[in-house]
């Protein structure tokens, strides 16, 4: 996919720096081996994978990723903007390159956050099973993978592609907004016990922020300041992403 035409020299410089830092973080993550550095909390390295459209990425996403990383001892969280999600065909999603670049700007200052182009660079629908298998092949059996997603999405997990194979590759962290009844997961008879056993639940107050609300605010010329990182807000204005 082609990058958007530059419109702001300062913003383009920040994006170039963010891409360089992201590549360095991925190189370091791939070169790290179990047992290196500080004494680990767990026998195996733990890495989170956070999928989503990130349209746009906001503080709710970042707080969820950071909280999950801390609570479950993850070495890093890789954010994977979706290319063509099969469950969101009913609405137009912003250009993948915009969503990827906004994610870079939002995460480059955190040494534990990375952004992957895997889904936006591949053709066809973006399925979780393909993404998780990709990272499993990269990191191997020495790394335990955790797929971070919304609790509402986990409620529909039995409709996901090859879900019974997926559960052999990763555990799940189901993050929820305040007020979401986490007991819905435990009481859902359609979700089998093996999957429930590999699912951790996490309530994130900041998830009251939503990408839908941010897009609507931009369309209505209402403020979005403090809902998402400053550089991401600047990017949406510079490229007119939601106008």
Query: Which CATH number does the domain housing residue 96 bear?
Result: 3.40.50.620
DSSP track, the chain:
-PPPPP--HHHHHHHHHHHHHHHHHHHHHHH--TT-SSPPSSSSEEEEEEEE--TT--HHHHHHHHHHHHHTT-SEEEEEE-SS-GGGTTS----HHHHHHHHHHHHTT-TTEEE--HHHHSSS---HHHHHHHHHHHH-TTEEEEEEEEHHHHTTGGGSTTHHHHTTTEEEEEEE-TT--THHHHH-TTS-HHHHHTEEEEE-GGGGS-HHHHHHHHHTT---BTTB-HHHHHHHHHHTTT-
Q: Is residue 230 part of a domain?
A: yes
Q: What pLDDT score does 1 carry?
A: 55
Q: Is residue 34 part of a domain?
A: no
Domain tally for the chain?
1
Q: Is residue 190 part of a domain?
A: yes
Q: Is residue 32 part of a domain?
A: no
Q: Is residue 37 part of a domain?
A: no
Q: What pLDDT score does 183 carry?
A: 62
Q: What pLDDT score does 185 carry?
A: 60
Q: Is residue 61 part of a domain?
A: yes
Q: What pLDDT score does 39 carry?
A: 42
pLDDT, averaged per 10 consecutive residues of the chain (243 residues), comes to: 73 95 95 58 86 95 96 97 77 91 97 97 90 95 93 75 89 83 58 76 85 95 96 95 91
Q: Is residue 141 part of a domain?
A: yes
Structural domain boundaries enclosing 146: 9-26+42-239
């Amino acid at each position: 996919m082609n990058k958007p035409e530059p419109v702001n020299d300062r913003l383009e410089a920040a994006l170039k720096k963010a891409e360089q830092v992201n590549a360095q973080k991925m190189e370091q993550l791939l070169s790290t081996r179990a047992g290196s550095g500080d004494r680990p909390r767990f026998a195996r390295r733990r890495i989170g994978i956070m999928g989503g459209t990130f349209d746009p990425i906001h503080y709710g996403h970042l707080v969820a990723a950071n909280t999950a990383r801390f609570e479950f001892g993850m070495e890093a969280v890789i954010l994977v903007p979706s290319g063509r999600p099969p469950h969101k065909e009913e609405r137009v999603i912003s250009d993948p390159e915009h969503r990827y670049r906004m994610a870079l700007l939002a995460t480059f200052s955190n040494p534990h956050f990375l952004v992957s182009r895997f889904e936006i660079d591949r053709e066809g629908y973006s399925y979780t099973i393909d993404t998780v298998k990709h990272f499993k092949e990269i990191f191997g059996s020495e790394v335990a993978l955790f797929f971070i997603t919304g609790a509402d999405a986990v409620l529909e997990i039995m409709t996901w592609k090859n879900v019974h194979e997926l559960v052999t590759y990763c555990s799940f962290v189901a993050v929820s907004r305040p007020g979401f009844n986490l007991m819905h997961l435990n009481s859902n008879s359609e979700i089998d016990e093996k999957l429930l056993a590999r699912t951790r639940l996490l309530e994130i107050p900041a998830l009251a922020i939503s990408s839908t609300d941010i897009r609507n605010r931009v369309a209505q010329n209402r403020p979005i300041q403090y809902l998402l990182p400053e550089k991401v807000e600047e990017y949406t204005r510079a490229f007119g992403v939601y106008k």
